[in-house]
Chain A
Amino acid sequence: MQGFAPLSFLRELEWSIIKKAVLLFFIPIAFLNLSELSACAVDVYATGGWKLTINSSCLAGGAGSGLIESFESSLDASMINITGTSGSADAWRVRVRKSEALRLHGVALYVKRTGDGTGSGTISGGTSYTAVETSDVDFFDGCGDRTGITIQYKVSGISINVPPGIYSTTITFTVVGR
């Protein structure tokens, strides 16, 4: 009987530690996740894209010169819609990243917001070129639903040393709550 007391005490202590861990760690995380669920409901849709062909006409000054420094897409190469917000006060942020492919050969990719789109909410930021990296970077902010937000792309760093071929990268736009 005497032997049970310390064992029981240890079990109680163990259970107490688990409970505290749950209270101090998991429960706040659960609340955080629950609070994010409202932001998670905001959707982002993107249409369009960009295909760029680089040939001899892209030389800066004909034979004996290199390729022009950078290439820009049309102003509305892509169009983004932000929907599913709870109202014009529901703040969100669009972040952007790219897949690894374009890191080859020192090529850099940039995005720029060229239009505000329409909707009950507001939109700000992203109107100058943002370098797209392989991890998310902040692009622009807004509140409420916005549709028809136009996006322009720019590629730079393509040199004559880039071998002929087709290169692509996937741009991922992510909307998160603010």
Chain B
Amino acid sequence: MISKKRKGDKYEMIKTKKLSALIMMMALLFGLCGIAQAANTANQTVLYQVTDINAISVSGNPGTLIMNAATAGALPDAVSDSSTSYSVTTNGTTKKITAKIDSAMPTDLALKVFLTAPNVSGASAIRAVLTTAEADVVTGIGPVVASDLTIRYELHPAGTTPPTPTSGTKTVTFTLTDQ
């Protein structure tokens, strides 16, 4: 009985060795292939950089604003022009548009501008009196592509007496910038 048990143990040992040898052989084969396959791939890098994109343009010049009517007993009527528009594209998240004129207006006249805000959450328009200093006209602009947004100019009498007859040309500069 003991002899049979020893024979059984020996047999078990041989089986275990055989099995181990097989497993090692399999591991070697898989390992060899792994090593060989490591050389049959090649890498390349595709890189793209998106820079700040801020573009604004206007459609042209508004018509001449002529102040020539008044109600008796009141200051001359304000006049306006909404014939021009602007377009804007930006990938910024907190942008604004400012406006300024190249030289000061007569003291008895006020030139105002009102831009339609692009349809983007958080954007709002401000009716601003144009001076030679930058004034915010649209704020809270996020990433947007928008075109043909109306620009409205208004010429108002300033002060308490009618403006002196005069004429002039102003260059209005709109700037899309960080808020």
Contacts and interface: CB of A to CB of B under 8 A. Distances in A.
B146 to A, nearest CB: 6
**Band of interface residues on A:** 35 or more
Contact of B51 (A11, A53, A65, A169): A53
Interface in A137-161: 153, 155, 158, 160-161
B22 to A, nearest CB: 6
A63 B90 CA distance: 8
A176 B50 contact: no
A153 B52 CA distance: 24
Contacts of B87: 62-65
| Chain B interface residue number, banded | 35 or more
Nearest to A136: B41
A36 interface: yes
B43 A46 contact: yes
A4 B7 CA distance: 12
A128 B57 CA distance: 38
Interface stretch (B31-39, B123-131, B150-158): B31-39
Given A160-B89, A173-B41, A15 B33 contact: no
A1 B89 contact: no
Interface of B: 1, 4, 8, 12, 15, 19, 22, 25-26, 29-30, 32-33, 36-37, 39-57, 86-93, 143-148
Interface of A: 1, 4, 8, 11, 15, 18, 22, 26, 29-30, 33-34, 36-37, 39-46, 48-56, 58-59, 62-67, 71, 78, 80, 98, 102, 109, 153, 155, 158, 160-176
